Amino acid sequence: MFIGDGMGVATLTAARIYDGQQRGKDGASNRLSFETFPHLALSQTYSADGLVTDSAAGASAILTGHRTLNGALGVDDRVRRGDCASVKSSSVPTLAEMARRKGLAAGVVSTAAITDATPASLYAHTPSRQWQSDADLPPEAVAEGCKDIARQMLDGPKALQLDVMLGGGQAAFTPSEGTGKRLDGRDLTAEWRASGGAYVETGTAMAAVPKGTKRLLGLFAPGNMMRENARGATQTDAPRLTDMTVKAIEILSQSKQGYFLMVEGALIDKAHHLSLAHEALTETVELSKAVAAAVAMTDPKDTLIIVTADHSHGLTINGGMRDTSILGLLPGNDDDPAKAMDGKAIPILMYASGPGAPPVGELRPDLTDVDTADPDLRNFAAVPLYSAAHTGEDVATYATGPGAERVHGLMDHPAVFQVMREALGLPAD
């Protein structure tokens, strides 16, 4: 399962064009790796309490088969927001937990903190996605005996623990006396090593993990990992999404019973929230490369691969000629004027909301002499928000391999879970 966080249809279209243009090809006729998959559906993304889902509820629906409240993980709609006591009666098994109970291997890869909403939806059962370390727990949650998300990841029964966990979020696992956040003094990475698992913090170390390693934890940043443009510019020793995906498959495929792997392209969403369209497109292409690597390493006769999104974002594509950079401005023709009614250039990409909006009371800027290919450029947004809002339209779901034919038409997110459950031969919960 590949989840492009915030990877709506407009993002896919723009990334397809961007990818082709970057390689000197016609972007409009280009295809991302998974856009060649034979089966396609639209998936509904609403949560149990909202027309628009957040990542926690969206990923939980995909990975548990149950819709829940925005902000909750691994629970159904009986949970009460911020109420630990309600978790016991509302907790539902995740696909990874079901796979582990059957003896399959399971893993997660993300470019976000591994305790962030989407990766945490594989192993955490909590009324709040914010409780990533014990430092994030409110006093009443501590009094009720709540476990933070990082602790749930490494503190549960070994038989149900994930075999491979690769991403960011080191601070939630290590003590505040050092570089971490934990107030209980525990170093969960040391506990993982003591239990026989390998632990790495750099791309070089991950590449050097010996063949035959069965359990691997890799935490490559204190919080979210760097976006690819920044990682490349700084030459930071951290793996790319493709590197982590390949390593996870190498380890998990040793399981004779089979395996389940969830890979999240998390920084698509993180860039969209900041009105950074260039960065979001780059991260979408990175996800496409990871999918291509997975396809190359697996047998289509026995491996189901699904690519989808938890929700969409308010990116729009306003026009442009076939040879116009998707990051640029409308060149102008009979159908698309080069200037808007305010006399200023029209960007091809813009957002419905976000920090790219001009300051309150000011007019939008003239982009004519602006470098629109600058990765740090905040794209224009119509409604000023500190963080761009998710949007509620359906997202695309692509599938190939055994059971892929069940991905078609209009589906609910929980129905995508059922496709994976049946492909793995897991019983209904």
**What are 385-422's pLDDT values in tens digits?**
999 999 999 999 999 999 999 999 999 999 999 999 99
Instruction: Please list, in sequence order, all residues whose beta carbon lies within 8 angstroms of the beta carbon of residue 151, skipping any fewer than 6 positions away.
Output: 134, 186, 188
- Residue 381 CA to its chain's centroid (Å): 23
Is the pLDDT at 41 greater than 90? The verdict is yes
Percentages helix, strand, coil for the chain, rounded to the nearest 5? 30, 20, 50
Pair 273, 257: CB distance under 8 Å: no
Give pLDDT, residue 71.
Answer: 96
Distance CA 52, CA 60 (A): 14
Distance CA 233, CA 137 (A): 36
Catalytic residue among 55, 90, 288, 353: 55
Closest Cα to residue 19, out of 38, 32, 6, 5? 32
Give pLDDT, residue 428.
Answer: 84
276, 292, 312, 427 from 6: Cα distances, Å: 13, 20, 5, 30
Closest Cα to residue 94, out of 152, 39, 168, 170? 152
H or E stretch covering 399 = strand 395-400
**What are 244-257's pLDDT values in tens digits?**
999 999 999 999 99
Mean pLDDT of 194-202: 96
Pair 66, 414: CB distance under 8 Å: yes
Is the pLDDT at 156 greater than 90? The verdict is no
Active site (annotated) includes residue 55: yes
